[in-house]
Amino acid sequence: MAETMRVHTLGGEDLLFLTDEQIRRGIEAMFFAYRAFTADPDLILAGMDYGRAHHRALHFIHRDPGLTVTSLLAVLGVTKQSLNRVLRTLIEDGLVESRVGRRDRRERHLHLTAEGAALERRLSEAQRARMRQAYRAAGPQAVAGFRQVLEAMMDPDTRAQYQSMKDLPL
Amino acid sequence: MAETMRVHTLGGEDLLFLTDEQIRRGIEAMFFAYRAFTADPDLILAGMDYGRAHHRALHFIHRDPGLTVTSLLAVLGVTKQSLNRVLRTLIEDGLVESRVGRRDRRERHLHLTAEGAALERRLSEAQRARMRQAYRAAGPQAVAGFRQVLEAMMDPDTRAQYQSMKDLPL
DNA sequence: TTGGAAAGTCAACAAGACTGCCCTATCAAG
DNA sequence: CTTGATAGGGCAGTCTTGTTGACTTTCCAA
């Protein structure tokens, strides 16, 4: 409340966008958009025994094949035990392969099987279709701003990780 | 995969931002940013008996005091039973007041008590602080783009609801 | 060689979503 | 005044996904 309607000017640029009300609008937009963002893959997963967590695991294994359980843990930001349950079902069902590390045999390196890659592609394509449509509707300049704000919102560690991921082969 | 690296030009404007890889980056940005977005309120809630669901209820009751249970249901997009559990604890703990409708006595109109408003403010301020910092870092043009993309991503019904909400008194 | 640290697994529990079914109170229309 | 629809609530049970705690296997360094 304190800042509501406090509008300034700085270097000739108005700061209307920093009003509490404007920020609240952004918060709500984030909530509604994220719900839509996850809706399509969730619908596909609903039939199977899988959920959103499986999708996330498939996504990051696809993006960085051979990554270890610990790395995946760090990216997903969940506990080892939580990930393990998800990973176990994916391995049992033959979607993910877990290979013992050759240099360090404590490590498990994760890869998608053909079947796993197929599901990943299906989920990913559903999600990308919505994203692509939103990008197309909003245009390149809006997309650039979208990405800027999202990056600025991340925790510094996550942001560093995110930015370094761009180097990975897709 | 089909569209990877397919870059076009349309009216002199490049469509690099529609590459599958670019869209994947957007998807990951969305995931990481949303995690940060909910982190601060979650931390506050962690100590109490409440969770994210309580925060959402408080937010929308604050934004639209006196709304009915059914309206709140529609906004949140959850089932009656799921909301009911949350609402019951909030009412029992004296954060939310449920008033019988005067025109239609079947309806329950929801209001925050002083205590409820205080918690809402505390949660909201934590979330807004991050948002404000991100907005400030990215600048007004980026913020406009951010909002455009998020709106384009929503389901049409949600978008209509979201856009009409701007008329509500805060 | 032995002891600590790291990687991963198993078991049990909690939050919060869901469905299905049942109930009351109220309203509105025939 | 009855009857059907609507608003709200409750109970039981399930599922996903997060948590903590305790355990095994493996590695490495003193």
pLDDT tens for A111-135 read 999 999 999 999 999 999 999 999 9
pLDDT value of residue B22: 94
The residue segments making up the domain with residue B129 are: 9-138
Look at B23 and A144 and tell me if their CB atoms are within 8 Å: no
Q: Which residues of chain A have a CB within 8 Å of the CB of B121?
A: 1
Query: In order along chain B (170 residues), what is the average pLDDT of each group of 10 residues?
Result: 46 75 95 95 87 94 94 93 92 94 93 96 95 96 97 94 77
Reduced to 3 states (helix: H, G, I; strand: E, B; else coil), residue A36 is: helix
pLDDT value of residue B8: 46
Q: Report if residue B155 sits inside a domain.
A: no
What is the number of structural domains in chain A? Answer: 1
Of the partner residues A29, A37, A135, the one whose CB lies closest to the CB of residue B17: A135
B residues 41-80 near A, CB within 8 Å? 56, 59, 63, 77
Which chain C positions come under 7 Å from a protein C-beta? 6-12, 15-21, 25-28
A residues 112-141 near B, CB within 8 Å? 121, 124, 127-128, 130-141
Q: Report if residue B161 sits inside a domain.
A: no
State the best of B3, B4, B9, B17 to mutate against chain A, taking most chain A CBs within 10 Å: B17
Q: Report if residue B146 sits inside a domain.
A: no
Q: Report if residue B158 sits inside a domain.
A: no
Look at A147 and B25 and tell me if their CB atoms are within 8 Å: yes
Look at A32 and B150 and tell me if their CB atoms are within 8 Å: yes
Q: Report if residue B156 sits inside a domain.
A: no
Residues of chain A where predicted confidence (pLDDT) is lower than 50:
1-8, 12, 170
Q: Report if residue A40 sits inside a domain.
A: no
pLDDT value of residue A68: 93
pLDDT value of residue B13: 59
Distance B65 CA to D7 C1' (A): 18
DSSP A56-92: HHHHHHHHSTTEEHHHHHHHHTS-HHHHHHHHHHHHH
pLDDT value of residue B46: 83
CATH assignment at residue B117? 1.10.10.10
Q: How far is CA B112 from CA A93, A150, B57, B98, B99, in A?
A: 48, 31, 10, 9, 11
What's the gap between Cα B101 and its chain centre?
26
How far apart are alpha carbons A89 and A82 in whole angstroms?
Answer: 12
Residue in chain A nearest B21 by alpha carbon: A170
pLDDT value of residue B151: 97
Q: Report if residue B53 sits inside a domain.
A: yes
pLDDT value of residue B115: 95
* Contact (Cβ atoms closer than 8 angstroms) between residue B169 and residue A5: no
Work out if B49's Cβ lies within 7 angstroms of strand D. no
pLDDT value of residue B169: 59
* Contact (Cβ atoms closer than 8 angstroms) between residue A119 and residue A57: no
pLDDT value of residue A13: 59
pLDDT value of residue B170: 54
Q: Report if residue B143 sits inside a domain.
A: no
